[in-house]
Structure formats: structure tokens, C-alpha cells
A = this chain, B = another copy of it.
Amino acid sequence: MRTVTVLGATGSVGSAACAVLKEQSRHFRVGSVVAHRDAAGLARIARELNASFAVVADASAAQDLAIALSGTGIRTGGGPAAVLDAVEEPADIVVAGIAGAAGLAPTYAALKRGRHIALANKECLVCAGEAFMARARAVGATILPLDSEHNALFQALGDAPADSVEKMILTASGGPFRTWDAGRIAAATPADALNHPTWSMGAKISTDSASLMNKGLELIEAHHLFGLGADRLEAVVHPQSIVHGLVCFTDGSVAAGLAAPDMRVPTLHCLAWPDRLPSAGNRRLDLAAAGTLTFEAPDPERFPCLALARDALRAGGAAPTILNAANEVAVAAFLAKAIPFGDIPALVARTLEQMAGRHGTPAGVEEALVVDAAARAATRALLPPGPTAT
């Protein structure tokens, strides 16, 4: 019986985790569940999973949560300090499903306690990868990647030593602009970018998927998770999103991780690791029904964000942190119709140029957040005048 804490319980990652924990209730006890501000949703989850502690990060929702759970015996709390209290509760593994910069501090705190992390938050490794991996090593915790691509790589790698790996390949759906020419991409609207062919996701990640910046950020995450340099990490466009990642070994063998598009599959893998648990509910892959899988090299001309991310990884130091912050501001400006799609890579590149050499590798979450704030300000200063939603 393992105890699981779920950070971001009411989001999409949390929903998959809760579905898994309900199906596998014989194997897991649920400790803390944490959400942003959806008190009613969190209360429902806490009851269903019989959690011991429920916390909303937004203190203004704490009272609603307390009322919704009164008489259940489930303790409640609200605000950032309560989130850290939730992380302090005993747990064997923490699902890190809080999106964005807000996920850094609680995930870092959870790691400090030696808990294994089922990591869905992208920013932890992109913005402060060295610090997270160093802390994990220091406390003997394992960071288990929960997103499809890195989970596939983690499974395909198995116990193979790093020097047996020639390269790793992450697949990218290619997004809605895969077949568009450069001029049409440059003029794409937010409605175009949000029209993702295979996944229904939030506006930010859909836009990153359309620019391939999402895959660039994933290359950076893969670098930290698996210890490979930028030259041994590749992306290949695979619109069907059936093969999620491939490990190419030095003898020519290739191991691939595949799955139906169902977040419960990597979630259960992480929660059960290093064992596996059977699931009747998780979707199964039917290759014959899938029929055709295609693969193509990403086009660096039409999708410059991938190269920007790779260059930031090569540059090291704070460059990935800056890249991520600049991209967030640029994407928000694009979604607010303040800049055209084609300006996203240009803004990221200019921010990186301006800030080059100003910051070293963030030694922890606080340093990463300082760089993040500085980069956001630098990118904002590059935006055209007028109201922007950043």
C-alpha cells in the first residue's frame, strides 16, 4: 500500500491520476490532494479518494472547501503555506500536476522529503533542471516522467546504462500547421493554433504544439531526465501520436514506447513503478486499427522554435529558463492578438540575445524564479505598445 499525494488534483493530469487511484484503490492510499481554487471539485475528489488532507492554493477558496468537507474527517487548508503543509504529509510518491511556475516550489519541497515524483509539470526541469535533478540524486528520489513522451523513453530505456544510448527521439504530432507553408504559419490566428489535430489541450500548450516549442521544451526535459546532450536528442514528427518516444542504442537496436492516447497509462506506470499493476480501464493500443503511422523530420525553417530550444539547451546556464519565460509572454501576446504567430520565435530569440551571459544556472527554485521574472520583463518590453494579457 503506497501513499500518494496529488498536486493539481482538479486539472487534466489530476483527473487521470484520480481515475487511476479510484481503479487501483487496493494498492494506494491517498494522502493530500491540492488544487488551485476549485473547492467544489477538490472536495468531490477528496471524498471519492478518501484523502486525508485537501488544500486549495488560493486562500479565498479555503472556506468553501472547509464547508464542503465538514463532517468527513478530511482536514482542509488554503494558501501557499497550506500547500507546503500538504507536501509535508507522509507520502511515497507525489503527482506533480500543478501547471506552470506555480508548480516549482511545491514540487521542489516534495523532492526535499525524498519522495518519488510523478512529474507532469514541465517548468520544473526546463527552468531549474539542474537543481531538481541534483536534489533528487541527493535524497535518493526518482523523478518519474508522467507525460507520454518522457514516460515512453523512461520505459524504453529500462535499466540500460547511459553509455549504451546513442540518441533518444521524442515524437511530435506536428500540430495544426504541419502542412502549412511559412507565410501562412506566420499569419496564423489563435483560432488556427488552438485547432490541434489529435489532442484537446489548454491554449498555451496548444500554441506551443503548433510552434513545436512544446517539443523543444521536452528536449530540455529529456536532457535532465536522461543525461543526454542536445546532440543526442531528436524530435520526429509523427502525426498519429501512437509512438511516443524511441531509444536508439549504440548497437543499432531501437526500443520504442507506444500507447493509446490515454494519460492513465503513463500515470499508472509511474504510480506502480518499479512494479506494474494491471488495469482493466486503461485504453489499449490496437495497431491494426491504427493502420498507418507516419514519420517525418521537423522542418527547421517553418518551425524555428525547436532550434531555439536546442540552442538554449546547448548554451546552458539560464538560457532554458529565459527561453521558457520569453515564450510564455510571447504566446500570451499572440493569444491576445497583440502579435502575429510568426513573432513568437523572434521575441524568444531577441530575449535570449539580450539576456545572454547575465544569469548563471539557477541553483534552486528561487533563483529560477528571479531569472523567469527578469526574462518576462525583457520580453514584455519588446512587445508592441497596447494591452496584452501576460
- Mark contacts of A338-380 with chain B using CB atoms, 8 A cut-off: 1 yes-contact digit, 0 otherwise: 0000000000000000000000000000000000000000000
* Chain B min CB distance to A138 (Å): 27
With A236-B287, A252-B264, A253-B259 already in contact, the answer to whether A164 and B276 are too (CB < 8 A) is yes
Question: Is the beta-carbon distance between A276 and B252 smaller than 8 angstroms?
Answer: no
Q: Which of B158, B169, B250 contacts A159 (CB 8 A)?
A: B158
Q: How many copies does the complex hold?
A: 2
Tell me if A63 is interfacial: C-beta within 8 Å of chain B.
Answer: no
- Mark contacts of A280-305 with chain B using CB atoms, 8 A cut-off: 1 yes-contact digit, 0 otherwise: 00111101101111111100000000
**How far, in angstroms, from A79 to B237 measured CA to CA in the complex?**
56
**Chain B minimum-CB-distance residue to A242:** B254
Q: Which of B253, B259, B260, B276 contacts A257 (CB 8 A)?
A: B253
**How far, in angstroms, from A126 to B156 measured CA to CA in the complex?**
29
**How far, in angstroms, from A166 to B259 measured CA to CA in the complex?**
14
**How far, in angstroms, from A260 to B284 measured CA to CA in the complex?**
27
Question: Is the beta-carbon distance between B285 and A296 smaller than 8 angstroms?
Answer: no
Tell me if A248 is interfacial: C-beta within 8 Å of chain B.
Answer: yes
From A249, A258, A282, residue with most partner B Cβ within 10 Å: A249
Question: Is the beta-carbon distance between A252 and B236 smaller than 8 angstroms?
Answer: no
Tell me if A382 is interfacial: C-beta within 8 Å of chain B.
Answer: no
Tell me if A279 is interfacial: C-beta within 8 Å of chain B.
Answer: yes
**Chain B minimum-CB-distance residue to A275:** B164
Q: Which of A85-93, A202-210, A265-273 is found at the contact surface with chain B?
A: A265-273
**How far, in angstroms, from A290 to B297 measured CA to CA in the complex?**
11
With A256-B256, A287-B295, A294-B292 already in contact, the answer to whether A249 and B264 are too (CB < 8 A) is no
**How far, in angstroms, from A260 to B253 measured CA to CA in the complex?**
8
Tell me if A255 is interfacial: C-beta within 8 Å of chain B.
Answer: yes
* Chain B min CB distance to A384 (Å): 38
Tell me if A160 is interfacial: C-beta within 8 Å of chain B.
Answer: yes
* Chain B min CB distance to A254 (Å): 4
Question: Is the beta-carbon distance between B236 and A265 smaller than 8 angstroms?
Answer: no
Question: Is the beta-carbon distance between B160 and A276 smaller than 8 angstroms?
Answer: yes
* Chain B min CB distance to A179 (Å): 15
Chain B residues, CB < 8 A from A169: 287
**How far, in angstroms, from A241 to B127 measured CA to CA in the complex?**
41
Chain B residues, CB < 8 A from A262: 252
With A288-B296, A293-B293, A295-B287 already in contact, the answer to whether A251 and B276 are too (CB < 8 A) is yes
**How far, in angstroms, from A268 to B250 measured CA to CA in the complex?**
10
Question: Is the beta-carbon distance between A251 and B295 smaller than 8 angstroms?
Answer: no
Question: Is the beta-carbon distance between A255 and B155 smaller than 8 angstroms?
Answer: yes
With A236-B287, A246-B287, A287-B169 already in contact, the answer to whether A252 and B295 are too (CB < 8 A) is no
Chain B residues, CB < 8 A from A160: 276
* Chain B min CB distance to A36 (Å): 29
* Chain B min CB distance to A273 (Å): 10
Chain B residues, CB < 8 A from A249: 276
With A282-B251, A282-B252, A288-B297 already in contact, the answer to whether A246 and B265 are too (CB < 8 A) is no
Q: Which of B158, B250, B259 contacts A254 (CB 8 A)?
A: B259
Chain B residues, CB < 8 A from A293: 292-295
Tell me if A277 is interfacial: C-beta within 8 Å of chain B.
Answer: yes
**7 residue pairs, one from A and one from B, having the closest CB atoms:** A252-B282, A250-B278, A254-B258, A252-B265, A164-B276, A287-B295, A288-B297
A-B pairs with beta carbons under 8 Å apart, 20 shown: A164-B276, A243-B256, A246-B287, A248-B285, A250-B278, A250-B279, A251-B269, A251-B282, A252-B262, A252-B268, A252-B285, A253-B259, A255-B255, A255-B256, A256-B256, A288-B295, A288-B297, A291-B295, A291-B296, A292-B295
